[in-house]
Amino acid sequence: MSVLDRFSLKGRIALVTGGAGPLFGSSISEGLVEAGATVITASRSLENNQAFARQMSRRGFDVHGMQVDIANLESINQLEERVIQQFGRVDVLVNSARVQREGSFETQTPEDWLESARGDMVGLFAICKAFLPHMVQERRGSIINISSIYGVVGNDPSLYEGTALLQPPHYTFVKAGMINFTRYMANYYGKKGVRVNCVSPGGYFNDQPAPFVNNYCKRVPLGRMLGSEDLKGAIVFLASDSAEYITGINLMVDGGWTAI
C-alpha cells in the first residue's frame, strides 16, 4: 500500500457532530467525504443536516443528515441506535458540536455555565460513551475532538479593541478540559484499538469586524485567519491509517499562533 493510499478513508463510516455547521463542521465533513468516507452529520437542526447531505449528494458523495442535541442524553442514545441500525458501526467520530453561549465574565451567569456543561462536557462524555463500545468491538476507531487555541493559551483582549466582540470565559474552560479528556481517553482505550486525538484550530474567518481581523492577522505568524480548507488535511490525517501510531496528541492548526 502506498503512502497516499494510507490517507484514503474509503469504506469508513464517519460521524461528525455539528457536521453541517457553517464554520468548522461542514469543512470537516467535506474533507472526510472527499477522502472517501461515508459521512453522517448530526446536530439539533435536522433540516440543516439534510440540506447539507443533499448538497454533497449532488457532488456524488455519500452523506446522511441526522439529528442530535448533545445536551440531551436521550437524543444521543437515539442517534447511536439509528446510526448502528443503519450502518452497523462507526469508524471515525468527530466531536465538533458545542453549546453556543455568548457574553463576558461580567455578563455570563452560572446558568450559562451549567447549560454549556450539559452539552460541552456531559454531552462530549456521553457521545463517546455511546459509540466507543462499537469501536472496541471492531478493535479499530478514531475519535477526534475539536478544541481551540484558547484551550492552550489565554485569550488576548487586545484583539477585540474597536469591536463589540467578546470571548466568553466558559469557552476556554471547556476547550482546555477537552484536551486533557482526549489524553485520558487515548491512554485508556489505546490497547483496545481506539485512537483519540484533538485538533485545536486558530481563529476562523467569519466576516468579523475589520479591526478584529486586522489585529488577528498582524499577530499570527502566517498573517491570516483560518479558512474553510485549512482543517481538512489535519482531520483526514488523524482519521486515516497514516496516523495509526498517533494517539493522545493535540494538533495545532493555528497558523503559528501558539508558537509565539
Q: Is 143 helix (H, G, I), strand (E, B) or coil?
A: strand
Q: What is the pTM of this model?
A: 0.96
pLDDT tens for 192-234 read 999 999 999 999 999 999 999 999 999 999 999 999 999 999 9
Decide if pLDDT at 116 tops 90.
no
Spatial separation of the C-alpha atoms in residues 119 and 117, rounded to whole Å:
5
Share of the chain above pLDDT 90, in %: 81
Decide if pLDDT at 28 tops 90.
yes
Decide if pLDDT at 126 tops 90.
yes
| Side-chain half-sphere exposure of 222, counting CA atoms within 13 A | 14
Decide if pLDDT at 101 tops 90.
no
Q: Comparing C-alpha atoms, which of 10, 179, 183, 184 is closest to residue 92? A: 10
Residue 23, pLDDT score: 82
Cβ–Cβ under 8 Å, residues 25 and 199: no
Mean pLDDT of 26-43: 97
Spatial separation of the C-alpha atoms in residues 96 and 144, rounded to whole Å:
9
Residue 155, pLDDT score: 87
What domains can you pick out in the chain, each with its CATH number?
A: 5-255 (3.40.50.720)
Residue 166, pLDDT score: 83
The strands making up 250-253's β-sheet, listed across from edge to edge, are 63-67, 38-43, 13-17, 92-95, 141-146, 194-201, 250-253
The torsion of the CA quartet 215, 171, 233, 187, rounded to 10 degrees, works out to 140
From residue 235, alpha-carbon distances to 8, 28, 30, 34, 104 in Å are: 12, 7, 10, 12, 31
Share in percent of the chain as helix, strand, coil (round to 5): 50, 15, 35
State the chain's mean pLDDT as an integer: 95
The more confidently predicted of residues 63 and 171 is: 63
Q: Which residues contact 248 (CB under 8 A, 6 or more apart)?
A: 182, 183, 186, 187, 190, 196, 197
Cβ–Cβ under 8 Å, residues 145 and 178: yes
